Amino acid sequence: MEVNPKLISFTASSKRRIEILSKFKDKQLSQPEIKKETKMYKSHISRTLKELSENKLLKCLNPDDRTFKFYKITSLGMKVLNEVQRIKKLI
């Protein structure tokens, strides 16, 4: 299955999206865990998680929990991340 070029462009155009998405490569994480690993502001993490979720690259495992949500990468997210990393190596 070929990945939509718009999703690749959407992800590759933001260092934050690439960094956060790559953190999920082999695990599920919560927002506080991402903050600890990336040293980004909470608002940047929240916005990026929302963008990645809306584009079906991440999935929230407990969407009804308002304070401590866990996310995991989707199969589409893995394909997009792999393609972005492949392209970045060529640059």
- The pLDDT assigned to 1 comes to 57
Q: Where are the domains of the chain?
A: 5-90
Distance CA 42, CA 20 (A): 12
Burial class (CB in 10 A: 0-12, 13-18, 19+), 45: middle
- CATH topology for 5-90 is Arc Repressor Mutant, subunit A (1.10.10)
- The pLDDT assigned to 50 comes to 95
Burial class (CB in 10 A: 0-12, 13-18, 19+), 71: buried
E strand or H helix at 37: helix 31-38
pLDDT along the chain (91 residues), means of 10: 88 95 92 91 95 96 90 96 90 68
